[in-house]
Structure formats: structure tokens, C-alpha cells
Amino acid sequence: MAAGGNLKLLGTRHSMFTQRVVWALKLKGIEYEFIEEDLVNKSSLLIALNPVHKKVPILVHGGKPIIDSKIILEYIDETWKERPLFPQHSPERAYVRFWAAFIDDKLMEASKKAFASTGDDQVKAIELTVEALQLLEEELRGKKFFGGDQEIGFLDIVAGWIAYWLQFIEEIGGFKVMDSTRFPCLDLWTKNFLQVPSIEQNLPPPDELRNVFSAIRMAMCPK
């Protein structure tokens, strides 16, 4: 394990954003202290470190907070050079940043709407989710991982919630978008991604996710 140098991570185990950072630190073998936050009753430390958004994950390195999972991944990759997560060359770096933004801004937003709605609104959100997944499926065609054939990289980590969290989002939200016939490349990628030891050993328990998503769905779509 490489010494992180006074490195703390504020997050929650069930958060797909927090888990991106955990995966990156584990892949690089960097030591850190994990501080589990209660998002219903946020700590004064969380609010002091991220007064703008009051969200996790927050990485604290040498006393300085770094905020937002994708920015934290870039920071980690720039600070600890072992086991690079980003491609070496600028065009490929631009490419992975573009698709990472697409995953968060289009796919995640659409699937969040599908999760948090009912009726016609949900049907429309499901269509948008499928459209976004189709675009991602095409990007993955012919590759084992988004990061290439050998190893997972930044884009795989950003997409990681699709491999694990999406099934619970579907289950609790009462819809189904992912299947191996419709998205064979994403399905194979999911299997390969979840077999990577740093990923497989760092996933929240299914029942924990079910409980969290049930509470959110209940609050958003009361029956």
C-alpha cells in the first residue's frame, strides 16, 4: 500500500459517487481513512468542507478538500502516478472526459427521472435512458473495457454504477432497461468489470442499497 499522506475520504458506502473514489484509491493501492457520513444528518465537517453543495464524496488531502467524484478521480491520477486511470494522450483524455460527462449528465439524469416518476413521465424517462444506453453500447462495441482491452480506467469507474447500482434502481423504481439481448456489450462489460478484485471487494451490500432506494422512492413517489 502506498502512503496517501494524510488522506481522508468523506462519503457513504451506498453512494455510487463515493464508490468511484474508493475504487480509484484501491486500484492504486493508496492508504486512506474513510469517514462514513450520515446524509440525513450531515456533519459540521462535511458542511465546512463542501459548503457549496454539501455533498459527498469529499477527499481531504493534507487538509485541503477536493470535491466532486470525477474531479477527485483526476486529482488522484495526477497525484499518484502508479496504475494510471487516464489515457496518456490528450485526444484520448478528452474522449474519456466527454463520455464521463455524458454518463452523468444524460444517462444518470434520465435514469434518475425514471426512478423518481410514474405514468407518462416515467415512460418518457425510460425512453431517454434506453437511448443513452444505446449510445454507450455503441462506444463499447469491440472493446472489453472502456479503458481498453487490458485494464479498467477512468471511464469504467465513472460508468461503474451501471454495472451494479442500476439493477436496484430498476427493481425499486419498477422498470427494466438493461438486458443482455438489447445491450450485449454492456452486459459483457458488466460481468468483466465486476470481476476486477478492487471493484468486486468494494461494493455495498444489496439489501443496504434496496433500503436506501426504497426510502428515496417512497419520499419521491408516495403511493
Ligand X SMILES: N[C@@H](CCC(=O)N[C@@H](CS)C(=O)NCC(=O)O)C(=O)O
Residues that bind ligand X (CB under 6 A): 15, 17, 39, 54-57, 68-70
Closest approach of ligand X to the CB of residue 47, in Å? 10
Considering the complex, what minimum distance in angstroms separates the CB of residue 51 from ligand X?
A: 13
41 or 150: whose CB is closer to ligand X?
A: 41
**Residue 1 CB, nearest approach to ligand X (Å):** 24
Q: How many helices (H) and strands (E) does the chain have?
A: 10, 4
Q: How far is the CB of 214 from ligand X (least distance, A)?
A: 16
Nearest distance in Å: CB 96, ligand X: 15
Q: Minimum distance from CB of 135 to ligand X (Å)?
A: 20
> Which C-beta is closer to ligand X: that of 160 or that of 183?
160
**Closer by beta carbon to ligand X, 180 or else 214:** 214
The nearest distance, CB 144 to ligand X, in angstroms, is 25
Instruction: Report the residue number, 37 or 170, with the smaller CB distance to ligand X.
Output: 37
- Residue nearest ligand X by beta-carbon distance: 55
Per-residue CA distances from 133 to 98, 123, 162, 205 (Å):
15, 15, 9, 25
Strands ordered across the beta sheet of 7-11: 33-36, 7-11, 58-61, 64-67
Helix 69-79 to helix 16-28 angle, to the nearest 10 degrees? 10
Identify which of residues 27 and 46 has a Cβ nearer to ligand X in the complex. 46
Which CA distances in Å does 209 have to 24, 25, 68, 200? 21, 22, 21, 16
The answer to whether residues 28 and 86 touch, using CB atoms and an 8 Å cutoff, is no
Nearer to ligand X, 93 or 112 (CB): 112
Q: Are 17 and 57 in contact (CB under 8 A)?
A: yes
Q: Whose CA is closest to 135, among 91, 189, 163, 99?
A: 99
Long-range contacts from 42-47, C-beta under 8 angstroms, 24+ separation = 43/10, 45/10, 46/10
Amino acid symbol at 214: S
78 SS3 class: helix
Question: Between residues 110 and 183, which has the closer beta carbon with respect to ligand X?
Answer: 110
